Amino acid sequence: MIGFLIQRILQALLVIIAMSIIVFLGVYAIGNPIDVMIDPASDQALREALIHRYGLDRPLIEQYFIFMNNMLHGDLGESFIYRLPVLSLIWSRFPATLELALTAMMIATCLGIPLGLWAGYKPDSLSARAIMAFSVLGFSVPTFWVGLLLIMMFAVELGWLPSGGRGPVTNVLGMPLSITSLEGWSYIILPAFNLALFKLGLLIRLTRAGTIEVMSSDYVRFARAQGLSESKVVGLHVLKNISIPIVTVFGLELGSTLAFAVVTETVFNWPGMGKLIIDSITVLDRPVMVAYLILVVFLFVVINLVVDLIYGQLDPRIRVKAAS
């Protein structure tokens, strides 16, 4: 297991280094932020002073090594627009996106896996067909349109829930969270369900396909021949053997939810990282753009590393294969 862990950590470090180069070069090839920061009528002296202040007159390779050196010391630079350290700026928005993403994934998992199991266990039943029809909606209906419908129905017409924003927050271990109160839940439930809809449809279809495949296997027939109840057959044999693809999708979708919740955050005016990166792209705030994308890469690498370790626990053959 130690060799398996070391191998995955080395691979993760190589991915982070490679992606940092790609992200840095890609962002710095897009326009000149000085054109956005100053008045077009400003004189050349002011323009050159700002270029020198932010180190934009240095060679690109030198800028990259300066950035990497600062990043290793915990300094991701200062925002051109907000005049704040980038790390503190992103961290101020991260808790809102984190609780939204985790709530969405909790909804998708708690509903998607049981519904998918039932649809795979009774594939020809009317309820299973209804579940699959609902899962198709999760794939085909645009997120922004569903969000607007939810606002129109539950906020405007019925008046049950707020139309946007974030509820009152409470500091939990230094992190401001809104899910610690009922009022906070009233604000998060609509955007979380909107964000969870695609993941819910994906988990339903994935779980159903795995269940149908496993239910026809020999070890399920042997388990039934031994007299095990259907609940034990499904819980001990079916669910365990379809867990690896579910864990894979859960990890990838958690990463994508954290990184790309921008549509939902915009529709519901949720003050998370997605809105921050859109604003930064609009004004070419390079330090924020680079730091955000590096953070996204780091999150995906860490999540994939955790998923790989869970693989090793679920299926020891993966550890043996990696070690060999």
pLDDT in tens, 158-206: 888 888 888 888 888 778 888 888 888 988 999 999 988 888 888 888 8
Band (pLDDT 50/70/90 cuts) for residue 239 is confident
In the chain, how many domains are there? 1
| 34: confidence class by pLDDT, cuts 50, 70, 90 | low
The residue among 203 and 6 whose pLDDT is bigger is 203
Sign of the C-alpha dihedral computed for residues 202, 208, 209 and 211 taken in this order: positive
Mean per-residue pLDDT for 41-48?
73
φ, ψ for residue 186, nearest 5 deg: -65, -30
Whether 109 maps to a domain, the answer reads yes
Phi (first) and psi of residue 86, to 5 degrees: -60, -40
d(CA 185, CA 177) in angstroms, rounded, equals: 10
Range with lowest mean pLDDT among 37-41, 149-153, 214-218, 223-227: 37-41
CB 135 within 8 A of CB 205: yes
Q: What is the pLDDT of residue 29?
A: 62
pLDDT band, very low/low/confident/very high, at 32 (cuts 50, 70, 90): low
Q: Is the pTM of this model over 0.95?
A: no
Residue 196, domain extent: 91-272
Residue 288 has pLDDT above 70, yes or no: yes
Residue 208: pLDDT over 80: yes
- For residue 95, tell me if it sits in a domain: yes
Instruction: Please report whether residue 218 resides in a domain.
Output: yes
Rounded percentage of the chain residues whose pLDDT exceeds 70:
89
Q: For residue 96, what is the DSSP state?
A: H
Question: Does the pLDDT value for residue 321 go beyond 60?
Answer: no
Three-state SS at 154 = helix
Residue 217 lies in a domain: yes
On the question of pLDDT at 35 being above 70, the answer is: no
Q: In the prediction, which pLDDT does 228 show?
A: 72
Residue 313 has pLDDT above 70, yes or no: no
CA distance 13 to 26: 20
Average pLDDT of span 102-107: 90
Q: How far apart are CA 259 and CA 247, in angstroms?
A: 18
Task: Look at residues 242, 236, 147 and name the one whose alpha carbon lies nearest to residue 204.
Answer: 242
Kind and range of the H or E element at 322?
helix 316-323
Assess whether pLDDT exceeds 60 at residue 319.
Answer: no
CA 115, 116, 117, 120 torsion-angle sign: positive
In this predicted structure, what is the pLDDT of residue 318? 55
Torsion over CA of 281, 300, 186 and 157, rounded to 10 degrees? Answer: 60
Output the average pLDDT for the chain. Answer: 80
Q: What is the CATH number of the domain that holds 179?
A: 1.10.3720.10
Distances (CA, A) of 10 to 3, 7, 16, 64, 312: 11, 5, 10, 22, 17
Check pLDDT > 80 for residue 233. no
- The mean-pLDDT minimum among 2-6, 283-287, 298-302 falls in 2-6
154: in domain: yes
What confidence score (pLDDT) does residue 40 get?
65
Is 244 a domain residue? yes
Higher pLDDT, 170 or 227: 170
Q: Please give the torsion angle defined by the CA atoms of residues 267, 270, 271 and 273, in that order, rounded to the nearest 10 degrees.
A: -70
Q: Is the pLDDT of residue 320 over 70?
A: no
Q: Is residue 219 classed as helix, strand or coil in its secondary structure?
A: helix
For residue 60, what are its two tokens? Answer: 């690109």
- 200 is a domain residue: yes
**Most confidently predicted of 5-14, 197-206, 285-294:** 197-206
SS3 170: strand
Amino acid (one-letter) located at 199: K
137 domain-assigned: yes
Handedness of CA 28, 34, 36, 40 (dihedral sign): negative
Name the band, by pLDDT with cuts 50, 70 and 90, for residue 251.
confident
